Amino acid sequence: MIVDIHTHYQFPSFVENPMAYLDREPFAAYLASNPKHRDVTIDEMISAADRAGIQWLGLQGGLFVRHETCVELNDYGLASLATYPDRLLVFACIQPKAGKDALTEFRRCVEGGMVGAGELNPSGQGFALDDPDFLAVAQAAVEMSVPIVLHFNETVGHHYPGKGKVPVEDLYRFITRFPSLKLIVAHWGGGLPYFELMPEVRDACKNVYYDTAASPLLYQAQVFPITARLVGVRKILFGTDFPLICFPDSQVEAEFETFLEHVEQSGLTPSQLTDVLGANAARLFRLEKAN
């Protein structure tokens, strides 16, 4: 079983003309202007996953600023989930700054079959990790026993669209406030795995997972076996950031095969590949029972 826990989708009108949302959703429109960015329909995503042998796709939200846009995307996500119930893991698009409305929307989505909230982006959506509104979303996730996917990135190195500036100490303080929260930190956690060599950090991060979204744009392939040694292979979740173009020198269209080959050639053992590419996500989301 292969599970891509981190892909992105949009509702059809945004796919057709993202610049029409520039005033309403400037961050999402800005990301869409990235030359490496692609937009595809969910039907096209399923077809691409079929060609690559991927069974499950984790659909992440559109990083929207306005609550109303989040609701529009969630409606589309719920409808898509009804069409592909055995292929999609849909995460609720939430704007924490919407306060009580965000909590109501989060619960609606989970009750409708969504598996968590994400990808939430502090820099892009304009909230801090200690904002009361965001802490309330985290508490709701704990109460509903669902994970949050949090955008987080390294704060050094080259710039790219969507790169935030939240320091790792802010992330760590948030983690210590919610020790039972299942937290998926995107993009290898922005360097946090290294600090898990400290016993107190490792203990605090016992419910933290790291996804591999956009990894080839950030790190050499050795990051896979190295991080497996740092935190344990069962904490790594395969994610591509599809339909982002992660191999701009050789990749023209959005596809999964090149990323899969990259992981398979990264130096992970066969058993580690099984865990990273799907078994870890299957355990987290109980997909064995779903199949």
User: Could you tell me if 147 and 184 are in contact, meaning their C-beta atoms sit under 8 angstroms apart?
Assistant: yes
Q: Are the C-beta atoms of 105 and 64 separated by less than 8 Å? A: no
What is the predicted pLDDT for the residue at 290? 38
Q: Which amino acid is at 11?
A: F
Class for the domain spanning 3-290? alpha beta
The residues with which 209 forms a beta bridge, in sequence order, are 184
Element (H, E) at 140: helix 132-144
CA–CA gap between residue 79 and residue 73 (Å, rounded) = 10
Dig out the tokens for 101 from the structure: 């409305």
Is 180's pLDDT higher than 60?
yes
d(CA 25, CA 44): 24
Q: Which pLDDT band holds residue 27 (cuts at 50, 70, 90)?
A: confident
Which residues make beta-bridge pairs with 237? 211
pLDDT at 78 over 60: yes
Angstrom distance (rounded) from CA 172 to CA 192: 8
Residue 273 has pLDDT above 60, yes or no: yes
Element housing 47 (H / E): helix 42-52
Give the mean pLDDT of 65-94: 97
The domain spans of the chain are 3-290
Distance between CA atoms of residues 103 and 132, nearest Å: 12
Residue of higher predicted confidence among 284 and 290: 284
Q: How confident is the model at residue 289 (pLDDT cuts 50, 70, 90)?
A: very low
Give, in order, the Cα–Cα distances in Å from 99 to each of 67, 109, 138, 155, 189.
10, 16, 12, 28, 26
The pLDDT value given to residue 62? 77
Integer angstrom CA distances of residue 131 from 13, 84, 95, 99, 136: 32, 35, 12, 11, 9
Lowest mean pLDDT among 28-42, 80-94, 168-182, 248-262: 28-42
Residue whose structure tokens are 């990083």: 63
Summarised one tens digit per residue, pLDDT across range 100-148 is 999 999 999 999 999 999 999 999 999 999 999 999 999 999 999 999 9
Asked whether the whole model's pTM tops 0.85, one would answer yes
Instruction: Using a pLDDT cut of 70, give the percent of the chain over it.
Output: 99
Please tell me the predicted confidence (pLDDT) of residue 282.
98
Amino acid identity at 267:
G
